[in-house]
A and B are shown apart, each in its own frame.
Chain A
Amino acid sequence: MSDERIRTVRVTLDGQTIEAAASATVLDVALANGVFIPHLCHHPDLRPAGACRLCFVDVDGRMVTACNAPVVEGATIRTNTDAVKTTVRGAVELLLVNHHRGAVDCEEGDACELRKIARFIGIDEVRLARFRRPEPAPPVDTSNPFFEYDPGICVLCGICVRTCDEVVGVSAIDFVRRGVHTTIGSAPGAKWMDSDCVSCGECVVRCPTGSLSMRDSEVPEREVRTTCTYCGCGCGIHLGVTGGRIVSARGVRENPSNEGRLCVKGRFGYGFVNAPDRLKKPLIRRDGVLVEASWDEALDLVAAKFTEHRGDAFAAIASAKLTNEENYVLQKFVRAVQGTNNVDHCARLCHSPTVAGLVQSLGSGAMTGTTKDLGDSRCILAIGTNTTAAHPIVALQVVRAVHQGGKLIVINPREVDLARHADLVLRNRAGSDVALLMGMMRVIVDEGLHDPAYIAARCDGFDEFRESLARFDAATVEELTGVPFAQVAAAARMYATNGPASILYAMGITQHTHGTDNVLAVSNLALLTGNVGRTSGGVNPLRGQSNVQGACDMGALPNVFPGYQRVDRPEVREKFERAWGARLDDMPGLTHLEILGGVTGGRIRAIYLVGENPALSEADANHARHAMEEVDFLVVQDIFLTESAEYADVVLPAATFAEKDGTFTNTERRVQRVRRAIDPVGDSRTDLWITSEIARRMGAAGFDHASAADVMDEIASLTPIYGGVTHERIEGSGIQWPCPDSSHAGTRTLHTERFPTASGRARFFALAYRAPDEEPDAEFPLVLTTERSLYHYHTSTMTRRVPGLEQLRGEELVEMHPRDAAALRVSSGDQVRVTSRRGEVVARALVTEVSPPGTISMTFHFHEAPTNVLTNAAFDPVAKIPETKVCAVRVEAVR
């Protein structure tokens, strides 16, 4: 393949001699050299189809379709012989008479490729009129909230069908019916909405005629290139702006993380920015009611109260939705002004075991690879991740790997969507991952499939680890995981013999009382087979939020300064004391759960809650609500009056990602620009301004940065892994940390030569199985595991303000296996009450074999059914993450 890209051939194109890559097609060469060949079914992202029959050319006297004809040394290509012209004219005329609309007077205008081609060839539409199809056009399918399909102007090029298969891997649509009745469809009588469609709109943006088109689309006055605010994929988007409104979004093809592709939220999910109920004024609680106030009043009150509560009675919860610069300034405020390390954020609830675990084993708690490289893996092991729902753009790379012949192993109690692409699906009991992974590793070692040379050269602790494998014999593993050992062994062999192999994981691994052990098991497996440090191999924790990687990098954690520099290291602390001009605490602060838990004992008296919603997101949420009610002084800084903001003493209206400058760091460690597209809505302000203003009003120095770029310069000067990052340098495609200095290009694959540990070597960890904290019993016989919907984000503060997303998924659903449903005499759509030791929730049931017998699942997107009142706050002893993935519940029908 690579040879063909380098090798060149010489061809003659309409009399011109041209040098071209041997891998190119005739169409590629012609288009690259300014020779237009009509074509409708060709798209650079898709394999050639040769379906539309418009791109005929003459190659050495033979008529061929240019889109799937490779260039051959010495070939003579002619695009304008009489025979070619006649053939192409005939093909275009046939398309036009089968079209239900005239091309010339069509409202699609020049967006339509068919119209351009008709004009290029010079078609006389009047002459064609009498050949046109007499019957009226079939009805337009308007079932999808975001786009519509008009079969009347469809030319059946198949780009949508192939995009859904080759790019998205969903295959929701295909050609249906026959002959002149052929159209694009899915299932019998199904509207577009009833199909497996995930509403990503990738087909719509590729449609050449406007047959698939956006609904309510508005051509923006201008576009601003920025980074999506939803998940950790960190997709580049062009936000379209008209006046002060966001009206459109499209993918940035040049962005290396997404290459122009977007998911349903990334393309259609920005209506929340201009939602009428955005917080536009500061609010102060007076006589028990939140009333509007001026910024001066609110900030003076906050500054006075925060001054009262300096020291360890103060805590801040930062946000993975804030920019790096804002998180940096926030943690600086907590440490330098408030004099405490009590700062944490939601990474505690998602990937703290990754940071705690991978730092011990590999020296760095982040994805070792790059999103794009995942697609070139020979084997992907996806464990505890519902990638298509939570990281849709990363999932596209998994699909690409499978299409290239790579193996896919899916390990998950639930039969997640990705399973349909998998070579092996292992459905283990929730919480049994250590046993399963150790079982796999035992097979690998017993059969000699590990990489002794790599282990000897680069790793420590192997012997002790190897001894710990003895505990995981076939019978034990089978009993603990519920997976037949033959399947475990097959997965082990597949993973060990197909390299480079990448492991993807997410909350299914981390949100356990043994989350850190799970992470260490994952890193053991990758080290055992020599996959860490290889391109397209390694350990890839998929980070959840747009800037959760960055919030961790910026030190919004109680034990580290920016760049994971520990607060208890004197030399580190002295560096920051010099830079910030303040005395800093050397004791690690409280974690997320401890902060809210600390309210009860009076240890925490004031909380500065920025961009987070614990009322819905915290395990054992009733406890979190109680803490927010109890605390002496609660400041909530957010874009909406969230469920948590209702407990606040002061609410500060913040600006969204579309209204600020800064950077996000995505899951592949890529630091990318966020750019201000519109002015902050109403009287809202950026979080950077708000935090800095509070600090200034408290008389602190070091909070008068001229811009976000200025803050980044300060970050770079103190944070070695960001040492070479400036706004100017990341203008184009961002930079992946570590990037120690301004001459460094950033790091695509971590640990290629040495590990960032003291010894430079990685470490194996001996592990033992530990059961989840709460197991089902007679009173609470079922396991509840939490999950995500593709259509919503986190507590849905943003997504539920987008009507189309609300239409696609508007309520909580309790997913349960048909066997459990039958025992409870429950059918899909029935109301059920789910009760745990901590609370109860009512929602409708969805009976599906996606859930394993004995385990039900719920999202936590819906405030009407706040799932986290059920979940267990028992936490991992190392990472302090609550066990959101396993708790015992009872379900009963509500009649």
Chain B
Amino acid sequence: MTTTKRVDPAELAKLPCTGPSFDDLRGKLDPIVARYPQRAAALLPVLWVVQRARAGWLHPKSIREVAEYLAVPQAHVEGVITFYTMFKDQPVGRDVVVVCKTLSCRLRGAQEVMDALEDHFGIDMGGTTKDGRYTIETGECLGLCDMAPCMTIDEERHGNLTPESAVKTLEGRPR
């Protein structure tokens, strides 16, 4: 089984930083910053906007630009990004799939769902499909225990999964 390797962190800066320039993002970011008494307080929502606009992950250049934009130390931004799982410091697929691995889902067959996805796409959990479409990873409780087992595709929720329906859902989405 193939595994998409993590990019050596030292090599990340050599990858292209795709998406709009930071100046083009300011129109979206300035109103967010204006909501807070201090610039630094806007860090999480600003990172989220930048990540979504730029291929779903935070390139070292993005981190530097956000740090400068909010006048916070770069190391602090790095600390925040690496603390929260929804911020990515590695390239990801076009959509990020999170399969819940917490208790309720496990009791209702989450492991089988994961196995099926790994088999079908030929990747390990945490990997990215060869066509670059999906990064599929596991996550802690998604708060959808009433429809366990569940997963999210970016911000879409999908529940009451079976191994077959999970694969079908991913394959059936418009390309």
Contact = CB atoms under 8 A, between A and B. Distances in A.
B18 interface: no
Interface in A636-677: none
A interface, how many residues as a size bin? Answer: 20 to 34
A178 B76 contact: no
Contact of B12 (A174, A185, A186, A188): A188
Contact of A175 (B12, B71, B79): B79
A302 interface: no
Contacts of B27: none
Interface string A134-174: 00000000000000000000000000000001000011111
A215 interface: no
Interface string B63-94: 11000000101111011011100000100000
B83 A174 contact: no
Contacts of A196: 73-75
B79 A176 contact: yes
B78 A172 contact: no
A173 B74 CA distance: 8
Interface string A169-213: 011111111100000011111110001100000000000000000
A189 B82 contact: no
A730 to B, nearest CB: 40
A617 B10 CA distance: 39
A176 B78 contact: yes
A420 B78 contact: no
Contacts of A174: 73, 75-76, 78-79
A195 B75 contact: yes
Contact of A186 (B8, B10, B11, B74): B74
Contacts of B76: 171, 174
A177 B82 contact: yes
Contact of A177 (B10, B12, B75, B83): B83
Contacts of A195: 74-75
Contacts, number: 60
Given A177-B83, A178-B83, A187 B78 contact: yes
A174 B43 CA distance: 15
B60 interface: yes
B78 A185 contact: yes
B9 A188 contact: yes
Contact of A189 (B9, B64, B74): B9
Contacts of A170: 73
A400 to B, nearest CB: 18
Given A188-B60, A188-B78, A171 B12 contact: no
A187 B74 contact: yes
A171 B10 CA distance: 21
Contact of A172 (B13, B73, B89): B73
Contacts of B71: 420
A13 to B, nearest CB: 37
Contacts of B89: 188
A384 to B, nearest CB: 23
Contacts of A186: 74-75, 78
B75 A171 contact: yes
A176 B60 contact: no
A190 B89 CA distance: 12
Given A188-B63, A188-B89, A178 B82 contact: yes
Contacts of B75: 171-174, 176, 185-187, 195-196
Contacts of B79: 174-176, 185
Contacts of B13: 188-189
Nearest to A849: B68
A173 B73 CA distance: 8
A707 B123 CA distance: 79
A186 B60 CA distance: 11
Interface in B133-162: none
Interface in A709-766: none
Contacts of A171: 73, 75-76
User: Which of B10, B74, B75, B78 lies at the interface centre, i.e. has the most chain A CB atoms within 10 A of its CB?
Assistant: B75
A443 B93 CA distance: 57
Contacts of A185: 75, 78-79, 82
Nearest to B83: A178
Given A175-B79, A176-B82, A178-B82, A189 B8 contact: yes
Given A171-B73, A196-B75, A187 B83 contact: no
B11 to A, nearest CB: 8
A175 B11 CA distance: 22
Contacts of A175: 79
A141 B8 CA distance: 15
A174 B73 CA distance: 9
A173 B11 CA distance: 20
A194 to B, nearest CB: 9
A189 B73 contact: no
A420 B76 CA distance: 15
Nearest to A175: B79
Given A173-B75, A174-B73, A174-B76, A189 B83 contact: no
Select the residue from B9, B12, B13, B78 with max chain A CB neighbours within 10 A. B78
A285 to B, nearest CB: 52
Most buried by A among B10, B63, B64, B82: B82
B74 to A, nearest CB: 5
A74 B163 CA distance: 67
A647 B68 CA distance: 49
A165 B89 CA distance: 24
Interface string B45-65: 000000000000000100110
Nearest to A185: B78
A176 B77 CA distance: 9
Interface in A352-407: none
A189 B63 contact: no
A524 B73 CA distance: 37
B167 to A, nearest CB: 31
19 contacts: A170-B73, A171-B73, A171-B76, A173-B75, A174-B75, A174-B76, A174-B79, A176-B82, A176-B83, A177-B83, A185-B78, A186-B74, A188-B9, A188-B12, A188-B60, A189-B9, A195-B74, A195-B75, A196-B74
Q: Can you list the 3 inter-chain pairs with the closest CB atoms, starting with the nearest?
A: A189-B9, A171-B73, A174-B75
Given A174-B79, A185-B79, 12 more contacts: A171-B73, A173-B75, A174-B76, A176-B82, A178-B83, A185-B78, A185-B82, A186-B75, A188-B9, A188-B89, A189-B13, A196-B74
